[in-house]
């Protein structure tokens, strides 16, 4: 028998999430974000569910070329663009589009050898800094950049560019945005956008909470995988979990009141208790900082983490649960236990947990 941990991937749930997002954003192009190996889900496992997407967005050039080799024919956009001349060459060869976020990148595009554009005419996304202050042209720099890019793309008959920005606060309840509202960012972009250009603003949070502000091309990531960007729950948004992280109970311990469990003897048994030892630890990607009480689904019932997560194992209080034995099935997160809930207990967000599933965890179709 092999170690029982595995990540089950449900590509049909992913297809459902795409349909849900598209229903709320009709008449827009849906560019599903598959960076970080599809938010930890592994590109090859989710690809069959992505057919409904109009385009894919990714950061890693090697993964983008892999997508082409896997047969993805629709557009692929490099979210941080190209970093040198060799990358531009590879991008054109693989028919990739890209984002530019500063003058140096724009100059590199303008100075591409014209014969290289005979291979492929890319669509360029120009990123605007509308107040998040991470990447992009400032509103002061943008008008010149827009004129220069427009001139270049007309000269080379490249497709209509896209003016793009990223929301800082589309995931928050109204009024908690520290003054940078999605409406304000949307206004800044629309004030600069040439009429003929397209717009791209919405991440998952905007696609679900502010569809009117999401632009012509929206870019959902986390919601595609069935987790919530906030503020509501994934099931409230009609999303279905794509990844379920499963394992099994590998030992049981019966402890007396006053005994302690695990490293640092953090957990104190308040009564005679049954502890299930399960095959998953921080080396599998489970957060070591998860506190006692973090939910774990065992044999279809809710157990609570009891003691510090170790490298290969976790200990769960299953006192009073029925029929828990060695070999009982465990779900760390997934269809019956939302990853958002586990992340909330661990003081992080679903994104971090999903992306952290370790290379040693085998993936399977669910």
Ligand X SMILES: *Cc1c(COP(=O)(O)O)cnc(C)c1O
Contact between 81 and ligand X by CB under 6 A: the answer reads: no
Is 35 annotated as catalytic? yes
Classify residue 21 as exposed, middle or buried by CB count within 10 Å of its CB (0-12, 13-18, 19+).
buried
User: How many CB atoms neighbour CB 178 within 10 A?
Assistant: 8
Of 219, 246, 308, 335, which lies in the binding site for ligand X, with binding defined by CB under 6 A? 219
- Within its chain, how far is the Cα of 224 from the centroid? 8
Selected catalytic residue, list 35, 127, 193, 335: 35
Instruction: Give residue number: closest CB to ligand X.
Output: 221
The site map against ligand X for 226-245 (x = CB under 6 A) is ---x----------------
**Which of 16, 35 has the CB closer to ligand X?**
35
* Burial of residue 268, with CB atoms counted within 10 A of its CB: 0-12 exposed, 13-18 middle, 19 or more buried: middle
Q: Is 286 designated active site?
A: no
* Residue of the chain from 11, 21, 58, 79 that contacts ligand X (CB under 6 A): 79
Least distance CB 326 / ligand X (angstroms): 38
Of 8-16, 219-227, 304-312, 331-339, the window that binds ligand X (rule: CB under 6 A) is: 219-227
Residues 33-52, one symbol each (x = binds ligand X by CB under 6 A, - = not), give x-x-----------------
Choose between 29 and 255: whose C-beta lies nearer to ligand X.
29
Nearer to ligand X, 38 or 250 (CB): 38
Are 309 and 322 contacting, i.e. CB atoms less than 8 angstroms apart?
no
Q: Which of 121, 225, 237, 263 is catalytic?
A: 263
Q: Is 129 in the site for ligand X (CB under 6 A)?
A: no
- Tell me if 221 contacts ligand X by CB under 6 A: yes
List Cβ neighbours of 1 (8 Å cut-off, separation of 6 or more).
none
Q: Which of 75, 220, 230, 281 binds ligand X (CB under 6 A)?
A: 220
Answer whether 282's CB lies under 8 Å from 310's CB.
yes
Contact 159, 123 (CB under 8 A): yes
Of 68-76, 213-221, 301-309, 336-344, the window that binds ligand X (rule: CB under 6 A) is 213-221
Q: Does 77 bind ligand X (CB under 6 A)?
A: no
| Complex with ligand X: residue 193 or 308, whichever CB lies closer | 193
Q: Which residues pair with 246 in a beta bridge?
A: 6, 331
**Buried-state track 324-361, b at ≥16 Cβ within 10 A, e below 16:** beeebebbbbbbebbbbebbebbeebbbebbeebeeeb
Report the distance separating Cα 363 and Cα 257, nearest Å.
39
Question: Judged by CB, which is closer to ligand X: 123, or 246?
Answer: 123
Query: Number of residues in contact with ligand X, rule: CB under 6 A?
Result: 12
How many Å apart are CA 99 and CA 57, to the nearest integer? 10
354 belongs to the binding site for ligand X (CB under 6 A): no
Q: Rule CB under 6 A: which of 144-203 touch ligand X?
A: 166, 203
Distance CA 298, CA 302 (A): 6
Minimum CB–partner distance for residue 206 and ligand X (Å): 8
Q: Does 101 bind ligand X (CB under 6 A)?
A: no
Rg (CA), the chain: 23
d(CA 116, CA 334): 46
The residue among 222 and 298 lying less far from ligand X, judged by its C-beta, is: 222
130 and 189 Cβ atoms separated by less than 8 Å? yes
By CB under 6 A, tell whether 75 contacts ligand X.
no
Distance of CA 116 to the CA centre of its chain: 33
Name the residues that contact ligand X, by CB under 6 A.
33, 35, 79, 166, 203-205, 219-222, 229
Active site positions, annotated? 35, 263
């Amino acid at each position: 028998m092999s170690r029982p941990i595995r990540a089950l991937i449900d590509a049909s749930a992913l297809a459902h999430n795409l349909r849900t997002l598209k229903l709320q954003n009709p008449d827009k192009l849906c560019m599903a974000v598959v960076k970080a190996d599809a938010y930890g889900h592994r590109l090859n496992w989710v690809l069959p569910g992505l057919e409904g997407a109009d385009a894919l967005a990714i950061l890693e050039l090697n993964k983008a070329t892999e997508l082409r080799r896997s047969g993805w024919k629709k557009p692929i956009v490099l979210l941080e663009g190209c970093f040198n001349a060799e990358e531009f060459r590879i991008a054109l060869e693989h028919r990739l589009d890209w984002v530019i976020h500063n003058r140096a990148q724009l100059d590199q595009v303008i100075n591409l050898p014209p014969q290289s554009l005979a291979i492929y005419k890319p669509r360029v996304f120009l990123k605007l800094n509308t107040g998040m202050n991470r990447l992009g042209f400032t509103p002061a720099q943008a008008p010149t950049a827009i004129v220069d890019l427009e001139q270049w793309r007309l000269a080379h008959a490249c497709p209509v560019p896209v003016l793009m920005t990223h929301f800082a606060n589309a995931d928050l309840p109204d009024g908690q945005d520290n003054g940078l509202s999605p409406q304000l960012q949307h206004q800044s972009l629309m004030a600069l956008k040439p009429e003929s250009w397209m717009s791209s603003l919405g991440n998952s949070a905007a696609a679900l909470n502010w569809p009117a502000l999401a632009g012509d091309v929206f870019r959902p990531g986390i919601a595609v995988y069935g987790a919530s960007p906030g503020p509501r729950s994934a099931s409230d948004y009609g999303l279905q979990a794509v990844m379920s992280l499963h394992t099994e109970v590998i030992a049981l311990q019966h402890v007396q009141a006053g005994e302690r469990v695990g490293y640092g003897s953090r957990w104190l048994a308040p009564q005679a208790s049954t502890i299930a030892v399960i095959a998953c630890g921080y080396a599998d990607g489970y957060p070591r900082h998860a506190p006692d009480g973090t939910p774990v689904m065992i044999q279809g019932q809710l157990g609570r983490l009891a003691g510090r997560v170790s490298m290969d194992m976790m200990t769960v209080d299953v006192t009073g649960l029925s029929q828990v034995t060695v070999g009982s099935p465990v779900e760390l997160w997934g269809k019956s236990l939302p990853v958002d809930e586990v992340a909330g207990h661990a003081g992080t967000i679903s994104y971090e947990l999903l992306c952290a599933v370790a290379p040693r965890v085998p993936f399977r179709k669910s």
